[in-house]
Chain A
């Protein structure tokens, strides 16, 4: 198989500033084969895709397409050479206000040698040819706006295939599709595989991967951490290569708790998902881990009151807990450090002090007039507590590093006493030293509350939590005390293998 690689990448490197994102990637794609690329957030998948598709310039290394050097300067060049990418955001691939036929032939509407006048009949004729080759059964006169997400996805892919590519890159194509819609996509991928296209398929969904993969390549921290191409494919090995332990950190001393803070019973957070039951105890740090898209954020948001469960009850310190808004949850002592601080945490127009006080303005005011001195004192205390590196509490957030920004977010919610403290991906985009600081602070202050973390990276769970729960398909599938963890079983649960028992 090695000889007939249609596309080969060797020693590809890329740095942003001093931050090396890709540290020498070598990868081969073969005609008529689906290669799945797996990797956690920040592993460098999207950087790799953007280099291959001509969006970013490469830092070093070579790319060879059909025995010729491939070095695209623009996305258009990559497409012309036969490497076509369908990006994750479907709406980047289609023009919503135009009809399907125009979308399918859009790339022929500009450039040299194209007639000035728009000829609808010719466009429809060409579009029909493209649609037939793909087996696409969509009304060509329909406006893309009126199509379902899956149909739009099909149009985006069909549009990409109008160029008759040698290599097709699909970046998380099923992330917004239902399972029935995904089946249609898989059928299309099968058809393309038969036609001899080399496909690079990027996904987190184990069900997709099991259905489609001929080979799996795992990526971690900017390098290839595993290639799996012998059948039957070793899915757990692939997940391990992507997430498993890389360094042996100091083993934490796992605590256990006998005083329950939050009890959840029969909670259902997704259509068709099995109910979740769990208990979080006073003083313990619990991490919930699982791949992207298994419902971690949905569970966090349900506990925090910004999303309604489909069924189930929650009890907080013996009293029924059914928050209807974030305000309710905060009043009940449930705090959430939300995922993705830039969009859901940081108020860009506010300095550190005002970002810290944001959720507790009511408690920091008298007859609604803010107690500014208390506000400043709180900010100073929290800067001290979490050793945030800044000149003063008046610094703008944009002046801080990612790690320090995240510390401000954690400091915000640690300014008041929580009954349940939830952190959703608190270590994303955070350097290692800030990550250790935050984890140490969480453990040191854990007494008197329950702490719940949602993390994709196993290491993060192993180095902070007393107990680790595994999520898959919107439910909890495994539980481990963080002492002598059976990593094989844990990884199997993450990979969503057949569930042997109802445990």
Chain B
């Protein structure tokens, strides 16, 4: 391998290690189990969303609606528990259903209505942003809130549901690992295994690379594409559940950064180990990268707008790694 090959393959890992080393020296308390867990926790939700959008990237599509699916799921969870006074299981099931249904509609729009993926999911994003505010006339949902008809909502978030956001498992140190991190790790391993080791994952890559060849090899291409959007929708709704559990209410103002961060993580993932294609491992590393960067910058007291800027820079650099240097961009 030439130097260039090495640069493409390991460049981003080196950058990641360098970043950790820099923060370890520059920011006090960066190297500690608590700090590591905090980083994981901060990327758990975007990480889950990023893994979902990876599935759509694999089939050559894109899903811009993930952020609004997550916030819709959050609002739905709050509505189900606070207003309809149902338990945690019902709330989780409703959220997952919302994710699956939105995914199906996205897939249907793209595959059967022939709407380009970016536009279909952009439309869905706007639709959901509005829809999630209709039941409460634009108000956040919390126990004791006044409904539009004047009644008071008396339901509350179940303890089981809140545990999803607040419980921590013991891991050498008591109360170390939050549930959301476990969810992230489990989903990451699941989607990684699915994409790399099952025939469905392999066929999804084939669909993304050459749709006609996949079709002539006997693959039901349309079904694969729709499934990819369902996976993306369900993952986004899981992210929404975690968000609701962490906040303990349905906050209409939260979740603004989810889409950008998740997409950045997935696209940064292209550059990891010179894959030059969407992949679950790269996405996880990408999410971690974004998390470390933000945590480090926060500990060094960088203002929030610098963080957005740095995130953007990293994304652009990663894309250059993928498309220009490796010379095998996806068309």
Contacts and interface: CB of A to CB of B under 8 A. Distances in A.
Interface of A: 304, 306, 325-327, 329-331, 336, 338, 343-350, 354, 358-359, 361-362, 364-365, 368-370, 372
B197 A344 contact: no
B206 A358 contact: yes
A327 B219 contact: yes
B199 A361 contact: yes
A98 B51 CA distance: 43
Contacts of A365: 198-199
B217 interface: yes
B199 A362 contact: yes
Interface string B201-217: 01101101110111111
- Which 4 pairs show the lowest CB-CB distances between chains A and B? A361-B199, A349-B209, A327-B218, A359-B217
A346 B218 contact: no
A421 to B, nearest CB: 14
Contact of B209 (A350, A362, A364): A350
B197 A325 contact: no
B200 A368 contact: yes
Contacts of A368: 198-200
Given A368-B199, A370-B202, A306 B209 contact: no
A343 B330 CA distance: 14
B212 A343 contact: yes
Contact of B218 (A325, A338, A344, A370): A325
Contacts of B9: none
Nearest to B212: A344
Contacts of B197: 369-370, 372
B2 to A, nearest CB: 15
A326 B216 contact: yes
Nearest to B276: A349
A359 B202 CA distance: 11
Nearest to A358: B217
11 contacts: A306-B215, A343-B212, A344-B213, A346-B210, A349-B277, A350-B206, A359-B217, A359-B218, A361-B199, A361-B202, A361-B203
Contacts of B198: 365, 368-370
A327 B220 contact: yes
B210 A347 contact: yes
Interface in B247-266: none
Contact of B199 (A325, A331, A344, A370): A370
Nearest to A338: B216
B213 A346 contact: yes
Nearest to A330: B218
A346 B213 CA distance: 6
A282 to B, nearest CB: 23
B214 to A, nearest CB: 7
A338 B208 CA distance: 19
B282 to A, nearest CB: 14
A330 B212 CA distance: 15
Contacts of A354: 202
Contacts of A364: 199
A348 B199 contact: no
Contacts of A347: 205-206, 209-210, 213-214
B326 to A, nearest CB: 12
Contacts of A338: 213, 216
A326 B214 CA distance: 10
A338 B206 CA distance: 16
A29 B3 CA distance: 56
A326 B212 CA distance: 11
A354 B208 CA distance: 14
Given A344-B213, A368-B198, 12 more contacts: A326-B217, A327-B218, A327-B220, A330-B218, A349-B205, A350-B206, A354-B202, A364-B199, A365-B199, A368-B200, A370-B199, A370-B202
A410 to B, nearest CB: 14
A343 B213 CA distance: 7
Interface string B275-292: 001000000000000000
Nearest to B194: A368
A199 B220 CA distance: 47
A408 B200 CA distance: 22
A348 B220 contact: no
Contacts of A372: 197
Contacts of A359: 217-218
Contacts of B277: 349
Contacts of A345: 213, 216
Contacts of B208: 349
Contact of B205 (A326, A343, A350, A369): A350
Interface in B317-331: 330
A368 B213 CA distance: 21
Interface centre among A329, A344, A358, A369 (most CB of B within 10 A): A358
Nearest to A362: B199
Nearest to B220: A327
A362 B219 CA distance: 10
